[in-house]
Amino acid sequence: MGDDASRGPAHEPQELERLLVSMQHAGDLDGMVALYETDAVIDCGGGRLLRGHGAIREFFREFAATGQKFQRGEQRPALLCGDLALTSTGLPDGNVTAEVARRQRDGTWLWAIDQFSISSETASHARGETGQA
């Protein structure tokens, strides 16, 4: 991808998700890893937690080998508190992502925590929606 806007860095926390998906679709593993702090934690589901660039890079490499692509979703407005931001994206399959981004000294944003998928059932329960009349 020759478009610098799709390469980063993220100047707003909401840019991280778009950058991650664009880089993944382009096969840019280094760019994907660079969107995370050095000691970032990812909950990629199934009880699998990743910590740090090495583990994150290996996960993205394994995922790329499957040929699957991340879904583009509806980015929700970030919730900001100083140098922290809670970001999330509603995915087409009904799942929701949740991430914590931190503003870096240079003013850019990186993810510190990333939970790839919170099921729509879990999200509804957390909001107090039971589906019962």
Q: What is the pLDDT of residues 47-76, one digit of tens each?
A: 889 999 999 999 999 999 999 898 889 999
At residue 116 the predicted structure's pLDDT band, cuts being 50, 70 and 90, is confident
Between 117 and 18, residue with greater pLDDT: 18
**CATH code, domain carrying 110:** 3.10.450.50
Alpha-carbon span 41 to 8, nearest angstrom? 20
Classify residue 84: in a domain, yes or no. Answer: yes
Classify residue 133: in a domain, yes or no. Answer: no
Q: What is the pLDDT of residues 73-92, one digit of tens each?
A: 999 999 999 999 999 999 99
pLDDT at 131: 47
Classify residue 6: in a domain, yes or no. Answer: no
pLDDT at 122: 47
pLDDT at 84: 98
Number of domain units in the chain: 1
Measure Cα distances from 34 to 54, 68, 123, 128, 130 in Å: 11, 20, 28, 36, 39
Classify residue 123: in a domain, yes or no. Answer: no
pLDDT at 7: 64
Q: What is the pLDDT of residues 15-57, one digit of tens each?
A: 999 999 999 999 999 999 999 999 999 998 888 899 999 999 9
Q: Is the dihedral of CA 107, 15, 111, 129 positive or negative?
A: positive
Classify residue 128: in a domain, yes or no. Answer: no
pLDDT at 119: 65
- Full residue range of the structural domain in which residue 74 is found: 13-117
Classify residue 131: in a domain, yes or no. Answer: no
The residue type found at 116 is F
Looking at the predicted structure, is the pLDDT value of residue 128 above 60? no
